[in-house]
Amino acid sequence: MNILTDYFDNMLYLSILIIGLLTGTFCRKISLFKKLDTSISATIWTMLFVFGVSIGSNKELVSNVGNIGLQAFILAFCGVAGSVLAASMAFSLFFKKKGGRHEK
Amino acid sequence: MIVGCLLTGILCGMYLDIPFLPYCKDISSYLLAFLVFQAGLNLGANSDFNYMKANFQWSSFLFPVFTIGGTLLFSALASILLAMNLWDGMAIGCGFGYYSLSSIMIIQLKENVIGMDLASQLGAIALLTNVFRELFALIGAPLYAHCFGKLAPISAAGVTSIDVCLPAISKYSGQEFIPIAVIQGIVLEIATPMLITFFCG
C-alpha cells in the first residue's frame, strides 16, 4: 500500500513548511522575501502545467472524460458548496458573536 | 491564468511528445516542496505573529468538523442527484482535494468488492472530482471570502489549505486565518484516509 509513504510525505511537507517559516522569521531583513507572492504564483502555475501534462498524457482518463467529467464536476461543485456553506455557519458562530472583531 | 496553465498542460500532454513525461510525478513533488518552502518563508518573513496570536481561538480546532460535515452532506446530495451509490459518492467527496491518495485508496479498497473495471472508473471519478475541487478552491478563493465569510476559502480548499491554497488563503482571508488553515490541513490529512476506508467498507 502506498498509504504509509503518503503519510511520510505529509510529514516531510509539514517539516519543509516549518523550516521555511523559521528561515523566514530569522531572515526578515532580506528584501527578496517581499517578492515571494510573485514566485509563489509562478510556482503554482508551473505545478498546474506539469499536472496538466500528466493528466493529458493519461489516455485512459482523457478518453473517459466525457462519461465521468460531468459527474466529477457535480461532485466537486457540491463538495465545495457544502463546505463553503458550513464555513459561513462556522464564521457566524465563532466570530460574529465576539463583537465582529474579525470583520473588516 | 490558473485554468490557462492547466489547459495548456493538458493539451501538451495530449498532443505533444513531452520529454519529461516519465518524471512528471517527481517534478510535481519537488515543485510542491518548493512551493511549501516559499509559503513558509512568506509566513515567517512577512507576517505579524503577535497579531495572529491575539486573534487565535481554540475553537479553530472545531473548524475541520464543519468542513467535513458540509462536504459529506452535499456529496451525499450530489450522489442522489447522479443516481450513484451514496457511500461511493461520500467516499469520493472525502478526498477533500487530495486527488492522489483518494483515487488510489478507492481503487484498492473497491477492487475486491465491485471488480477492477468499476473500481478504476470510480477511482478516475475521484481523481477528477478532487482535481476540480482544488481548482475551484484556487480560482474561487476571493469569491468565497467575499460571499461566505473569511473561513470559506479554507474549507473549500480542504486538505490543500496547508499547501497549494495557503498563499491564496493568506491573501483573501487574511493572515489571522493562517493558523486555522494549517490546523485544518493537518486534521484532514489524518482524517481523509480514515473516512475513505470507512465509506468504502
Backbone angles phi, psi at A84, to 5 degrees: -65, -40
Which residue in this structure is represented by grid cell 503519510? A7
Backbone angles phi, psi at B83, to 5 degrees: 55, 40
The whole-number pLDDT of residue B48 equals 81
- Residue A87's nearest CA partner among B93, B155, B140, B187 is B155
**What is d(CA A19, CA A52) in angstroms, rounded to the nearest whole number?**
29
The whole-number pLDDT of residue A5 equals 67
Tens of pLDDT, residues A7-53? 666 678 889 989 999 999 888 888 888 888 899 999 999 988 998 89
Tens of pLDDT, residues B152-175? 999 999 999 998 999 999 999 988
**Scanning every residue of chain A, which has its alpha carbon at the shortest distance from the alpha carbon of B52?**
A102
**What is d(CA A38, CA A7) in angstroms, rounded to the nearest whole number?**
30
User: b or e along B75-111 (b: 16 or more beta carbons within 10 Å of the residue's beta carbon)?
Assistant: bbbbbeebebeeebbbbbbbbbbbbbbbbbbbbbbbb
* Furthest CA-CA distance within chain B: 54
56-95 in chain A: CB under 8 A from chain B: 56-58, 60-62, 64-65, 68-69, 71-92, 94-95
What is the interface pTM, i.e. ipTM, of the complex? 0.89
From the list A21, A60, A101, the residue facing B43 with the nearest CB is A21
CA B197 to chain centre: 18
The whole-number pLDDT of residue B54 equals 81
